[in-house]
Amino acid sequence: MTLIPKGVQKRGIAPTDLTTLTDPFHASMVKALKMIGTDGEAPGYAERRWRGRDDHDLDWGAGAVRLGSALCHGTGIESGSRPVLTRERRDPMPPTFAKAAATIVAAFLLAGCATSARQLMPTPVLYQLPGGQPVFDRAAESQQRPSPDLDLLFITDRAPPTAAEQEAQGQDQDPLPYGQERARRIAFGSAQVRVVPGLDWEALREQSQLAKRTREVNLELGQVRELGAFPQEPYRLHRTEDGKLLRDRAELERHAEAKGRLQGEVQRRLAAAPSKEVLLYVHGFNETFASAAFTAAELCHFLGREHVCAFFTWPASSTGNFLTSYTTTTESADYAVEHLKKSLRMLGMTPGVEGVQILAHSRGTALTLKAVRELGLEAIAAGKEAVDIYKFNNLVLLSPDIDVDIAAQQLTGFLSDPDLITLWPEGKVPRVLKGRLTVYTSPEDRALLVSKILFRSRKRAGQLRPEDIPEKGQRYMEALGRMDLISYLGKRTDFFGHSYFTTNPQVSSDLVQLIRYGRRLGEPGRQLIKTGPITWKFPLDQATGR
């Protein structure tokens, strides 16, 4: 077994696999998992307490942060100073609360890990040797002389890190270019994600096709260059002598200049890309600039590095108290809607762009749905097809952290507002997507269990099972067309069961078949089980992820 270096995040760990790991980092992780109970069952005791070296009780958060610091830095837990779990036999804790509490503690445990180097996601099944498809096109390789490292386009409304954020990050890590505070402008640029330790292209290609890799393949944030920024918001206003209120001409010129630079950068990348589409990833809660870049990079990598690969990173909270961080993140997602909307509009309307593939995860799905909906309404109000203006191809919602009723309203609300669609003959339904709306869900998603409790939500969209959608609702969405809900019902392949689209090789393989090859469900390579008019599930033997 290859040991994981200090500071590198392990990917694709199933709880049952951890007992075989022997290095100090994973030994500590095993202890942590046993402490909070990750076997899917509620702990059978009323109270868990962390005790420090002086035997003083610590609250859940403090104890978890202390343990989490050791886990994040790969140092293990020193004898005599480690938190020790004690059990008190009382009335059993309610199962739902126990699971949620364990998840919240786990969030404390892993908070702050997001800036470390990270292992490349497991190889999707369709690429695995022997017999797998090649990850990269040989003809394109011979022309491009590819580098193992990836150069991503980023768009962000994060502010530069504060002094407190830099101090909290630690002296052993390079400072991130953007923190978790909100900026009053949109910036964009180039983010390099390095593949370490130094693999050449041939070695990386080989490791990218193995189910069990023989060498380490880790991702590390490299140089980040800001290439431009839009003016500070709100844009200045100017009142004329006759009392008219106008937008400031200089601000509009600066906006046009920034827009030209962004679209020019997209065109520069298009010229070198085999695909003339933009792949945009929108992250969720508890993500830093670096962790968002890592996920965008590994998705880009296993999609053959054919697209103009980009990520929109918004000021999601990744430090501090879990509950306050989550509520702050929820409002920051609302704050970012306008900026994502502008970004999607500019990307889709860039000359030469033939399509925009949108992948959104977790809380990022909420702001993405709102942004796409508002752009659709813009087009409807102008009497135009949104799909023709913005060139949106597929919209993929991964583990969507959004209330199911709100999601349904975002998707279908405009259909119940005939006063809005006044420029369309005979009630014609406008099209927003060229491709499909695909939703990946899992009832084993523990992160969504917490948000369900916090919001008192009937159901989070990312937890839906096929049977949770009534046939009447399925028939309506089938009539609307171009929507699939795919349920992953297998065991968790990551700590929270929230990132299965990268940690589970079967799920990531299905995603590749959709985005890269445009295959529909039921076609070769996407032979899932159809459970309803719009619902599908992975076969049981595939759902284990092994």
Instruction: Please report which confidence band the pLDDT of residue 89 belongs to, taking 50, 70 and 90 as the band edges.
Output: very low
Mean pLDDT, residues 454-478 taken together: 87
Residue 58's alpha-carbon distances to 55, 295, 442, 446, in angstroms, are: 9, 34, 34, 24
Residue 49: what pLDDT? Answer: 27
Tokens of 361: 């995860």
- Which has the minimum average pLDDT: 98-112, 317-331, 414-428? 98-112
CA distance 74 to 26: 8
What is the residue extent of each domain of the chain?
15-110
DSSP for 405-456, please give it: HHHHHHHHGGGG-TTT--SSGGGPPPP--SS-EEEEE-TT-HHHHHHHHHHT
Q: What is the three-class DSSP state of 189?
A: strand
User: For the segment 286-329, what is each residue's pLDDT rounded down to a tens digit?
Assistant: 899 999 999 999 999 999 999 999 999 999 876 666 666 666 77
What residue type is assigned to position 122 of the chain? P
User: For the segment 14-49, what is each residue's pLDDT rounded down to a tens digit?
Assistant: 443 433 333 333 443 344 444 434 443 333 322 232
Residue 535: what pLDDT? Answer: 96
Q: In 3D, which of 186, 183, 264 has the Cα closest to residue 229?
A: 186
User: For the segment 365-412, what is each residue's pLDDT rounded down to a tens digit?
Assistant: 999 999 999 999 999 888 899 999 999 999 999 999 999 999 998 888
Mean pLDDT, residues 241-262 taken together: 96
DSSP for 461-520, please give it: GGG--GGGS-HHHHHHHHHH-SEEEEE--S--SSSSS--HHHH-HHHHHHHHHHHTT-PP
Give the number of other CB atoms < 10 A from CB of residue 421: 17
Residue 327: what pLDDT? Answer: 67
What residue type is assigned to position 511 of the chain? L
CA distance 137 to 135: 7
Residue 374: what pLDDT? Answer: 96
Q: What is the mean pLDDT of the chain?
A: 80
Instruction: Please report which confidence band the pLDDT of residue 480 belongs to, taking 50, 70 and 90 as the band edges.
Output: confident
Residue 309's alpha-carbon distances to 47, 196, 379, in angstroms, are: 47, 20, 26
Instruction: Please report which confidence band the pLDDT of residue 464 belongs to, taking 50, 70 and 90 as the band edges.
Output: very high
Q: In 3D, which of 283, 280, 254, 282 has the Cα closest to residue 185?
A: 254
pLDDT for 285 beyond 80: yes
> Do 372 and 289 touch, CB atoms closer than 8 A?
no
CA distance 48 to 88: 8
Mean pLDDT, residues 268-278 taken together: 96
Instruction: Please report which confidence band the pLDDT of residue 55 belongs to, taking 50, 70 and 90 as the band edges.
Output: very low
Mean pLDDT, residues 194-223 taken together: 94
Instruction: Please report which confidence band the pLDDT of residue 4 belongs to, taking 50, 70 and 90 as the band edges.
Output: very low
CA distance 537 to 490: 10
What proportion of the chain, given as a percentage, has pLDDT over 90? 55
Residue 144: what pLDDT? Answer: 66
User: For the segment 482-505, what is each residue's pLDDT rounded down to a tens digit?
Assistant: 899 999 998 888 888 899 999 999
Tokens of 342: 């502008």
Strands 182-196 and 150-158, by their bridges, are antiparallel
In total, the chain counts a number of residues equal to 546
For 391, phi then psi, to 5°, come to 60, 35
Residues with Cβ within 8 Å of residue 20, at least 6 apart in sequence: 1
Rounded to two decimals, the pTM is 0.82
CA distance 379 to 386: 5
> Do 536 and 485 touch, CB atoms closer than 8 A?
yes
| CA pseudo-torsion sign 73, 75, 79, 80 | negative
CA distance 127 to 121: 13
Mean pLDDT, residues 342-356 taken together: 98
CA distance 354 to 210: 33
pLDDT for 451 beyond 90: no
